[in-house]
Structure formats: structure tokens, C-alpha cells
Chains A and B, each alone.
Chain A
């Protein structure tokens, strides 16, 4: 971070990487955050109201099918939040941008809540449909393991005092954890046969959910994605300000 005297003209990064500058990042996120909040709230309200009140009941599942509007988007975001943490950790390891490490830190609690929502809504749906709150089905089990990985990641961030060491170690844990999470996913598949239905939203398959359910679901997914981005940007901003406050306090204490 230090600028040496013999190089007066430093090359300013442009484009995407310029947002590694916390000031620029904060300015940008503050400009788009209100729009993100409004858009995500609108999408969620539209998708949920449409889904809950203006779609027909499924002929076998009755109205329990409607929990799909919470279950599927949250499950999707639970996995994508970890993926985002992985990318942010890689950027931190390779390019040492503090904003990236803080974004990974900010995403973890959001991801853990998404995982929890997916597990809980799944259990609520499973009780009337499968006759049980919980089954050791591969998908359910791998989500529980993902939840444990999130817990470990957050706990490691909390346990280490030095912020740079914490960022480095959690980044390493995130990389290793990703490999093992994927490995566990396939190991669990091998271990037990599934009760959970297969993918029903894939783009390349014939058998998907009917269009009546599909479109409100897409709106809900968009809402969850926007909500995730809004929350992560907001929390990253908080982390940046927190660190800045600490730096100011430390400087004051030294005088």
C-alpha cells in the first residue's frame, strides 16, 4: 500500500478493479444501494404475492407447493453465497484487495441464514408431504454439511484478532472447504438414496415445473438475488467503516 518516492507516477487501476479502493467502493455502493433495496423488495413482494395468492394449488400437493417460492431461491442463494465467498477469497489471496476479503466476510452470515431458511422451509414442507421433518437424504444432508462449513468459517473470522491474518486464514479455509464440500456432496450421494426430487428448474431438461409456478418463482429468485447483493454491499460498507473507525481510534490513542 505504500507509495515509494522514486515512482512519482503511479498507475491508477481502472474499470472493475478500481472498486478495490474502499472510497470508490463506498461511493458506488451508496449510489446503487437504494435502488437495490427497492428493486429487491418489489420483486419479493410481487413474486410472493403472485405465488401465494394467484397460482392454482397443485393437484397432489395442495397448497403446500407454494413454499417453493421461499425454498428454492434461498437454497440457490445459499450455494451461490459460498461461491461468491470463494471468488472473493481468491481475489484477496491473489490481489490483496481488502474490500474483497471484507466482502467475503460480509457474505458468510447472509449465506448461513439462506441455508437455514432452505433447511427450515424444507422441513416444514416435508412434514405433510414425506411424513417427516427430516430425512437423511443426500440433498438435505449436504445442505446440513454446508451449514456446518459456514459456521466454521464465521467462527474462524471471529476467533482471530489480527484482521489480515484472519482474512488469509479464512480464505485458505474457504478454498479447502469448497473442495471438501463438493467431495462430501458426492460421498453423501453414494451413502444414501434420495427422497428429494431432482432438479426441476434446469434449462436443458424437458421435465420442469409448470409455467404457472415457473414465472412467479423466477421473480422470487430475482428478488432473492437482489436482496443478497444489497445485504452484502451494505454489510461490506459496514465492515469498511468499522475498520476505518478502529484505525482512527488507534491513531488517536497514539497521540
Chain B
């Protein structure tokens, strides 16, 4: 398992753009928003938590089609399926590798981008907390989408259509935590809901992903 994790991380590093690409996309989204809605700082401060969450979500989505596609093409997935390691575990590891290469940099960089959008002071802590709690769910759900569409030529757009509705609950609770945090309100309830979704998704989703992948590998 650690070998697989190490391999995926190394591949992401050496192929270039593993860490950087999602982050750069996130930055561009953050930079483009003020052009779209105007530079008034109080307006930006109000929408900052939502925009940052949405940007992180899209950056996550963007890197999903590389999660399994390359391994599908060169046959690695077939080997993984026949190896003694359960496919569920292999996919969990792949989701973890995706989170480390995409989600974690977003969490770390989000406060920096918060400055660009004039995020209010108490919001930074809650933004980081909510992203740290929520992005693992995005990676795991995304793995399911990738497993579902891995056999389809040019399935990237289709995968967005399938995955984005599944992101709705995570986005709602995650952005709610960040918004309430930025407004200085109580955040316990949405935070618990977000944590519940992430924990539930990590526990159950690999089984669905593995089922979908087995069908595709048949």
C-alpha cells in the first residue's frame, strides 16, 4: 500500500504539474473573480468564502481525469485488480495520493488567496479548517467519478456532469462553515455535518468506486 502511495506521489511529482497545475488554476479563478464582479472590497469580502471553496472544488475536479486514465491506458489498473491488495484499498490509496497532490496544496494556499479577496480576519482559520475537512471528500467522490468514466474516450466532460451534483452536499456545508466563520458566527453545526459527510464518504465510497472499476475492467 505504501509502495502504491509512493509510486503515485512520485509520478505526480515527476510528470510535472502534479502539485502546481491545480494550484495555478485555483489562483487564476481567484484572480478572475474580481474582474467579473468588480473590485469593491466589501463585496469581495462577502463572497470570498464561497468563491474560495468553489475554486478549490473546480481545481480538484480538473485533476480528476488523470487520476485513473493513465493507469488505465498502460494497464496498471489490470495489474492492481489482480494483485492481492483489494481494489477498494488501492482506490482509497489513489484518492489519498490525489488529495496530497491536489487537496493539501489548496488548503495551504487558500489563506494566501483569501488576502486577494479581502477575506475578513476570523475567516482564515475556518476557511483552512473547512477545506482541510472537506477536500478529502472531494477526492474520494472524484475517484468514484473517475472509476465510472475511465473506459470512455474523452470522458472528462461527462465526468464533470456526473461528479458535480455529487459535490453539492460537501460544498454546501463546507462553504457554510467558511461563511459563518468569516461572519464571526457559530460554526459547530455545519462543521459537524461536513465532518460526517467526509467520514461517511471515505468509509463507503471506495466500495462503489471499486464496483464501478471492476465493471469497466471486465
A interface residue numbers (CB < 8 A to B)? 145, 148-149, 151-152, 155-156, 159-160, 165, 168-169, 172-173, 175-177, 180-181, 183-184, 187-188, 190-191
Contact = CB atoms under 8 A, between A and B. Distances in A.
Contact of B168 (A145, A151, A172, A173): A145
Q: Which 4 A-B pairs have the closest CB atoms?
A: A187-B169, A168-B215, A187-B172, A148-B165
Interface in B151-177: 151-152, 155, 158, 161-162, 164-166, 168-169, 172-173, 176
A173 B169 contact: no
B147 to A, nearest CB: 9
B24 to A, nearest CB: 28
A99 B212 CA distance: 21
B165 A184 contact: yes
Contact of B173 (A152, A165, A187): A187
B126 interface: no
Given A156-B148, A165-B151, 16 more contacts: A148-B161, A149-B165, A152-B158, A159-B152, A165-B216, A169-B215, A169-B216, A172-B215, A173-B162, A176-B208, A180-B166, A180-B168, A181-B165, A184-B172, A190-B189, A191-B176
B193 A176 contact: no
Report, as a range, how many residues of chain B touch the other chain.
Answer: 20 to 34
Contacts of B193: 187, 190
A169 B165 contact: no
Interface string B181-198: 000000001100100010
A148 B164 contact: yes
Contacts of B152: 159-160
B53 interface: no
Contacts of A177: 165-166
A169 B158 contact: no
Given A172-B208, A173-B148, A188 B172 contact: yes
B155 A159 contact: yes
Nearest to A186: B169
15 contacts: A145-B165, A145-B168, A148-B161, A149-B165, A151-B161, A156-B149, A169-B148, A169-B215, A177-B165, A180-B169, A183-B197, A187-B168, A190-B190, A190-B193, A191-B176
Contacts of B51: none
Nearest to A183: B169
Interface in B111-165: 144, 148-149, 151-152, 155, 158, 161-162, 164-165
A237 B197 CA distance: 40
A47 B122 CA distance: 57
Nearest to B148: A169
A146 to B, nearest CB: 9
B161 A152 contact: yes
Contacts of A172: 148, 208, 211-212, 215
Contacts of B14: none
A184 B168 contact: yes
A40 B148 CA distance: 38
A92 B190 CA distance: 37
A235 B197 CA distance: 37
Contact of B151 (A152, A160, A190): A160
A168 to B, nearest CB: 4
A175 B148 contact: no
A188 B169 CA distance: 8
Nearest to A189: B172
B208 A175 contact: yes
A190 to B, nearest CB: 7
Contacts of A148: 161, 164-165
Nearest to B197: A183
A175 B155 CA distance: 21
A58 to B, nearest CB: 34
A156 B208 contact: no
A159 B166 CA distance: 19
Contacts of A169: 148, 212, 215-216
A156 B162 contact: yes
Nearest to A182: B169
B87 to A, nearest CB: 14
Nearest to A166: B215
Contacts of A183: 169, 197
Interface string B202-217: 0001001001100110
